[in-house]
Amino acid sequence: MTPATSLFSPVEADLRTLADNLIQLVGNDHPILYAAAEHLFGAGGKRVRPAIVLLVSRATMLQQDITLRHRRLAEITEMIHTASLVHDDVVDESEMRRGVPTVHSLFGNRIAIQAGDFLFAQASWYLANLDNLEVVKLLSEVIMDLATGEIQQGLNRFDVGTSIETYLKKTYCKTATLFANSSKAAGLLSDVEAETAQHLYEYGRHFGLAFQIVDDILDFTSSADTLGKPAGSDLKDGHLTAPVLFALEEKPYLEVLIKRKFGQEDDLEQALALIQDSLGIQRSRELAAHHAKEAVQHLSILLPSESKQAMIDMTDYVLSRLY
Amino acid sequence: MTPATSLFSPVEADLRTLADNLIQLVGNDHPILYAAAEHLFGAGGKRVRPAIVLLVSRATMLQQDITLRHRRLAEITEMIHTASLVHDDVVDESEMRRGVPTVHSLFGNRIAIQAGDFLFAQASWYLANLDNLEVVKLLSEVIMDLATGEIQQGLNRFDVGTSIETYLKKTYCKTATLFANSSKAAGLLSDVEAETAQHLYEYGRHFGLAFQIVDDILDFTSSADTLGKPAGSDLKDGHLTAPVLFALEEKPYLEVLIKRKFGQEDDLEQALALIQDSLGIQRSRELAAHHAKEAVQHLSILLPSESKQAMIDMTDYVLSRLY
C-alpha cells in the first residue's frame, strides 16, 4: 500500500502552502476559530481534493507554472469540503472523524456552525473573485449538490427500498460532484478545450464514486483503530451503502433487522455477520474497481506528465486501501 | 404609523409571487423542509429586503418591465437573509423571533442547520446563474460580511470598550451590507451607470444602518408583545447596541453591571433603568434619523417615479416605528 503523500509528490510543496494559507484565512482575528482551523486544516487531513485540483492544474499547464487562480481553486475546494464536514458532523451528531474529535464536540455547536458558515462564505468570496463565471457556476453546483445530498441521505435512512441507482446519485451529490466539477474547473482555468474539460469532469466523477464506495466498504472491513470510528457506524445510523444494498438481495432477514432499526439485542452484530456472509463486499469492490478504471480511461486525452501519472496512480491507491 | 404593506404597493404583486416561489424552491421533495420553508416564508415576514430590491429595480426600469433576473435577485436576498437568521438563531439559542418560535426550536438543530445550508446553497446557485460576475461579487461580499458580523458580534459581547464606530461596522456587516449591495446589484441588472450604482449602494447602506439602529432602540422601548421577545433581550445577551454605548458615557455604574454580566439580582432591571434615564435612546434616534436622511439624499439621482417615492417613504416608515 502506497502512502498517499508520495503519490502527491508533484504537488507536495503546493499542498504545504495550501494548509498554511487555510489556517491563516479562517483563523485570522479570532482565537477560537483559529483553534478550530488548526484542528481542521492541520496535520492529519488527507487533502485528496486539493491534491486532485493541483494535479489537474499541473497536468494541463505543462509549458508553464500553474497560476494563483489554480491554487485558489484548490483552497476553495478544501474550504467547501471542510465546511460541509463540520456541519454534517453537527447534524449527524458525530463525535469522532478520522480518529480525532469533531469540531462541535471540541468547541461546541456554536463554533462549529459559525466555522462552517465562515468557510462557505470565504469560499463564495474567493470563488467570485476568480473572475470566471463558468467556474463560479461549476462550484455553485457543488455547494448545491452537497446540501441536497445531505438532506437526501437523511431522508433515505433505514429505507430498505433504496436502489443502487439512488445510492450512486446520493454518492455523486455527497462526494463525486466536488471531484468532478473542481477537476473540470481546474481545466477551464488552464483554458483547455470543452472536450478535455468534459473528460476531466468524468475523471473526477468516476474517481469520486470509487473513492466513496471504497470508504463505504471500509466501514465494514476495517478495525475501529484504522477507521477512527467504530466499524459499522454507517449501518448503525441507517445509512445503507453499497455492501448493504447488495447484501439485501441475498439476505431477506437483513431487511427485518434494518426495518426495526437494530432495536433488539445483537441486531447490529447479526446484520454485520449477514453482510460478511454475502457477496455484498465483493460486489462493492467490483463496483469501485469499475469506476476507478473508467476514471483512468478519461485521462487518455492528456499528454504524458508526472502529474497525469499521479492522477492514474491515485485510482490504484484508492482501490489499494481495501487490501 | 403607516403599515409597511401599503408602502410596498408598487411591488405588492411581485412580493406575493416571491413568497410562493420561495416556499416551493426550498420545500420541494422534502416534507420537513417544506414545513420549515412555510414557517420561514409564509405570512408574517416583513420582506423588507426583497421589497427594496424590487423597488430599486422598478425605479431604474421606468420604460420597461423588470426582468426575471431582478426578481431572482430579490429572492436571493431573502434566501441569504433567512439562511443567516436560521443559523444565528441556532448559534444564539434564540427560542422566539418576531413572536413566533424559531426553526430550530420547532424542528430541531438538524433541520435548522440543513435548511440554512440549503438556502445558502440555493442562493449561490441562483446567483451564479444570473450570469453577471459583478453581481456575484457584490452578493458574495454580503455572505462574507454576514458571517464576519455574526462572529464579531460574539467576540464583542459584554465588551464595554466597544466604540460607536465598532458598533456601526458590526451593524454594516449584520444588516446594512445586504441592503447596500443588493440595491447596487439591482441597479446593475438595469444597466445603470457606475455613479448611479454607487448612489444606490449608499442608499441601501444608510437605509440599512437606520433600520438596524431603530431595531436596536425598539429592544428598549417596546413591549414584549410588540417585539415578539422579552424587552432588553439584546442587552441581557451582552449585545451592546447604540442606546447602551451612548448611555455608558453618562452612567459609569452601567459598566459595572455589564462587566459582571448582570450576575446579581435586579442587575438587568437597574441597567435598563439607567439607560432610560440617559440620553442614550434620544441620541440613538438622532443617529437613525441622520442615516435615514442621508439615504434619501442619495436618491436624487433617480427620475421621479412611484417606486422612487416608495423608497423615500420607506425611510420615514423606519423612523416612524419609534413613535
What 3 state SS string does B150-217 have? HHHHHHCCCCCCCCHHHHHHHHHHHHHHHHHHHHHHHHHHCCCCHHHHHHHHHHHHHHHHHHHHHHHH
Q: What is the pLDDT of residues A176-217, one digit of tens each?
A: 999 999 999 999 999 999 999 999 999 999 999 999 999 999
Q: What is the pLDDT of residue A227?
A: 67
- Count Cβ atoms below 10 Å from residue A5 Cβ, excluding itself: 12
Of B87, B124, B155, the CB nearest to A143: B124
Q: What is the pLDDT of residue B2?
A: 44
As a whole number, mean pLDDT of residues B163-185 equals 97
Q: What is the pLDDT of residues A288-318, one digit of tens each?
A: 999 999 999 999 999 999 999 999 999 999 9
What residue type is assigned to position A256 of the chain? V
Distance of CA A268 to the CA centre of its chain: 26
Q: What is the pLDDT of residue B43?
A: 61
As a whole number, mean pLDDT of residues B158-187 equals 97
As a whole number, mean pLDDT of residues A38-65 equals 88
Q: Is A94 on the interface with B (CB under 8 A)?
A: no
Locate cell 463564495: which residue? A124
Residue of chain B whose Cα is closest to the Cα of A128: B137
Report how far residue B193's alpha carbon sits from residue B199's, in angstroms, rounded to the nearest whole number: 10
Q: Is the pLDDT of residue B39 over 60?
A: yes
Using a CB-CB distance cutoff of 8 angstroms, which residues of chain A are in contact with residue B30?
151, 155
CB B68 within 8 A of CB A90: no
Distance of CA B48 to the CA centre of its chain: 8
Q: Is A125 on the interface with B (CB under 8 A)?
A: yes
Interface pTM (ipTM) of the complex? 0.88
CATH number for position B193: 1.10.600.10
Mean pLDDT of chain B: 91
CB contact under 8 Å between B133 and A131, yes or no, is yes
Range of B267's domain? 4-320
Residue of chain A whose Cα is closest to the Cα of B32: A155
Q: What is the pLDDT of residues B216-237, one digit of tens each?
A: 999 999 876 776 677 788 999 9
Q: Is the pLDDT of residue A284 over 60?
A: yes
> Which residue has better confidence, B111 or B251?
B251
**What percent of chain A shows pLDDT beyond 90?**
69
Count: domains in chain B: 1
Tell me, letter by letter, the H, E, C secondary structure of B253-275: HHHHHHHCCCCCCCHHHHHHHHH
Using a CB-CB distance cutoff of 8 angstroms, which residues of chain B are in contact with residue A120?
117, 120, 143, 147
pTM for the model stands at 0.92
- Poorest-confidence range of A25-34, B41-50, B102-111? A25-34
Strands (E), chain A: 96-97, 100-101
Burial of B139 (0-12, 13-18, 19+ CB in 10 A): buried
Q: What is the pLDDT of residues B282-318, one digit of tens each?
A: 999 999 999 999 999 999 999 999 999 999 999 999 9
End-to-end CA distance of chain B: 8
> Which residue has better confidence, B6 or A207?
A207
Q: What is the pLDDT of residue B1?
A: 36
Residues 138-157 of B with CB under 8 A from A: 140-141, 143-144, 146-148, 150-151, 154-155
Report how far residue A306's alpha carbon sits from residue A301's, in angstroms, rounded to the nearest whole number: 15
Split at pLDDT 50, 70, 90, the class of A1 is: very low
Q: What is the pLDDT of residue B145?
A: 95
Split at pLDDT 50, 70, 90, the class of A166 is: very high
Residue of chain B whose Cα is closest to the Cα of A93: B110
Q: Is the pLDDT of residue B44 over 70?
A: no
Q: Which of A7, A81, A20, A83 is nearest to A51 (CA)?
A: A7
CB pairs under 8 A between A and B: 106
> Which residue has better confidence, A255 or A21?
A255
